[in-house]
Structure formats: C-alpha cells, structure tokens
Amino acid sequence: MASVIRKLSILDGRPGFQLQSTWGRVSVLEGGGHICELILNACGEVNPLWKPSWKTVDPATYSPRKHARIYGPLPEGRLLAGIAGHSISFDYFGPPSAEEIAAGHSTHGEAPVVRWRRRTKSRSPQATLVYGAELPQAQMRLERKISLDPDNPVVYCQETATNLASFDRPISWNHHVTFGPSFLEPNVTLFDMPATRSKVCPATFSANMALQPDSEFLWPSAPKKDGSVLNLRTSEKGQYGHYTAHLLDPVQKTAFMAVCNPRLRLLVLYVFDRRDYPWLGNWEESYNREHPPWKGREFCRGFEFSSTPFPIPRRETVANGPLFGEPTYKWLPARSSASSKYIIVLAEVPQDFAGVASVKANPDSLAVHENDKARVKRVPIKAFLRPDC
C-alpha cells in the first residue's frame, strides 16, 4: 500500500521520510535532503546507496569546536558529518573559495547541509513527498517532489530551484549518487553511461592515483601512469582515489547512468534530460583518504550527473569556460525558477546481465538495451521526460 511516513530514525537516529509502495521503498533525510535508501523487495534488503562507516549526524548540528576532530574541519566537515547515498550539490559543485570559507560556506554548497522540510501533503494515490530547503546564504530556494509508481519500481523526481536575488547567478546543479558495499563489489559491479569525451582530474586530487592526470580519453578506457589502460566499467581492488569527468553524448535527448550488481541481480538506472545534465562525474574512493572521518576505511563510488564536470570553486568553473565545447555551468536569472526531472528505476536482472548499452525513452516506456546481447528490458513509465521519438 502506498504511503509516506515521517520517521524519527531513518539513519543513525536522524529524522526523515520513508515512501512505500507494493514493490519497495525510498527513504530520505531531513538533514541535507539526501536520498539514503532505495529498496527493491524482489532483491531483498539490498540498499545500493553508500552508508558511511562513521555515525552521521544532521549537518545543522555540526560545530567545528565539537566535531572537527570527528568529521574534519570546515569546509568539508559539515558536509561529511551528514552525507549519505544520493546527495545534491547546489548551487556550486566543489569547495568554496578561500573568501567563501571565511564567510562560513561548505563544500558542495548550502543544499546538502541545511534542513529540508515537507512542503505540502499530497492527495495523490501514489506515495508522493514534496520537500525543500531555504538557502539563505545563496539566496535560493530548492524543492524536490518524489513520487513512487504504484505498480512498477520507478521513482519520479522533479526539482525546482528559485533565485530569490535581484541578479542573475551562475550555478552548478549536481547529483552526487554514491554507491557502497555490499552492492559495490570490486570487478563485479558494472557502471555504464553514454559518454563520449572524457578527462582525468589533476594530480592534486589524490596522492594514490594510478590514472594519468589531466589526460583525455574515450569512456571507459582511462590511461594509467604506467602506460596501460584501466576499464572504468568496474572498480578495482586496492588503495586508490580518482575522479574523471565525462561528456554525455550530445546527440541523445535522453541520457542515463546505470549501475548493476549481477550477482545480487539488482540494476539501478537513472534517466534524465541531457539538456539539464550534460556531464557525468566518476568518483572512486578505495581506502585512500586517511584523515577524519575517512580513516582509510571507505570503499565507495559516486556516479554524478551534473551541469558541471569538475568539483572546483565556482570562480574557476566560470573562468575556465566550456570543456569539449560544452558549457560547464548554468545561469539562473534574477527572481526566476528552473526545473529539472529524472527517473530512478530499480530492476531485477539475470545473473548473466552484461550491463546497459543504451536507453531509449518512449512516451510510455523505457527500452533498456543490454550490452553485447539482443535482450531488451522494457520498463513502463508515465509521460514524464522528453521522449526520444
């Protein structure tokens, strides 16, 4: 039966909301608004999203004096204190500038560190949650509507950002979807996207980076420092950390990111309008970061659909301009709003599933084409995204 329940303990004793349908559930946190749980009943209680090994707290309760030794100092500490699963980075992606740090800003913007509140109670027969956050530092408002399909494991998400200021703003709009164990397994879990040109992050990103810094390549074959090539469709064992940015195919109206663990028979598919999110970031952390709260204990991987390729200060994003001929940020005009949509699909797949080659959005369904095979999985959907045909 469809329902939306506010719970006092969604994660680590933190309040949030749980949306339930006949096929499974979705859970979100009030602190930061994170989508922290995606459950498909057919695949058991496997939550593909990352739960940090440290105990999280609501980011609004973060105090540098009390929590810096546990979660790290600002600007990252407040974010890491409450991070989980699918986190939004808004209205910038990456660290703040030195001046912004002095003014009290956090990494990845205000949205993932403030409290999100329920806006209105829906009368829809579907499980529907409308919640949002006021961003006083950014002079913005952000709202998200989540609806569960009553019959099929499909989640419809629509977000609206409003610029409350009297001047135009350059913004980044990034979805930092991070996967973790047991769903994330070395050399098992498959990562797919319709990427074309790609670029490795600078050497300053990590001391334990096997990839050749600043190199350009075609997905999924990333050049390594030793001259070999790394297939980014899976995650390796070992200690490392890196980030790569990928331009999604500009020919396609609809873009996607697909992550599948064939052993667990679970596929997680995000589908969105390529005009809204032309970039996808691939972030990998494998027991690499030693400082608090990481302490060399985390194995996780983020697939991040975004308006912006690299997590750098806003000033650098604007100054650098386009990459591969594609804009790297958006403008949100004065006292105006902009919206974006995406669909999350949870699907049971066979254990010999080879990953996703392509996704075609039809008016009433998604056609998910498997890699190297003739199999096509069709997922019924309502009219939500722009169809490809």
Instruction: Report how far residue 207's alpha carbon sits from residue 213's, in angstroms, rounded to the nearest whole number.
Output: 11
389 in any annotated domain: no
Instruction: Note whether residue 385 is domain-resident.
Output: no
**386 lies in some domain:** no
Q: Buried (b) or exposed (e) across 203-230, using 16+ Cβ within 10 A?
A: eebbeebbbbeeeebebbebbeeeeeeb
pTM of the complete model: 0.97
Judge residue 359's burial from the number of C-beta atoms within 10 Å of its C-beta, 0-12 exposed, 13-18 middle, 19 or more buried: buried
Q: Is residue 122 part of a domain?
A: yes
What length does the chain have?
A: 389
Cα(91)–Cα(99) distance, rounded to whole angstroms?
Answer: 16
| Cis peptide bond prior to 153, omega within 30° of 0 | no
Q: What is the pLDDT of residues 31-50, one digit of tens each?
A: 999 999 999 999 999 999 99
Rounded to whole angstroms, the Cα distance separating 314 from 281 reads 16
Report the pLDDT value the prediction gives residue 121, as an integer from 0 to 100. Answer: 80
Residue 342 lies in a domain: yes
How many domains does the chain divide into?
Answer: 1
Strands 266-273 and 337-348, by their bridges, are: antiparallel
Residue range(s) defining the domain that contains residue 366: 3-380
Measured CA to CA, the distance from residue 324 to residue 311 in angstroms comes to: 17
Q: Give 277-292 pLDDT, tens digit per residue.
A: 999 999 999 999 999 9
Residue 387 within any structural domain of the chain: no
Report how far residue 172's alpha carbon sits from residue 259's, in angstroms, rounded to the nearest whole number.
Answer: 24
For the chain, percent of residues with pLDDT exceeding 70: 99
Tens digit of each residue's pLDDT (9 = 90 or more) over 289-300: 999 999 999 999
- Asked if the model's pLDDT at residue 146 lies above 90, the reply is yes
Please list, in sequence order, all residues whose beta carbon lies within 8 angstroms of the beta carbon of residue 158, skipping any fewer than 6 positions away.
144, 145, 339, 340, 341
Confidence of residue 389 (pLDDT cuts 50, 70, 90): low
pLDDT greater than 80 at residue 201 = yes
Over residues 199-203, mean pLDDT: 97
CATH number at residue 280: 2.70.98.10
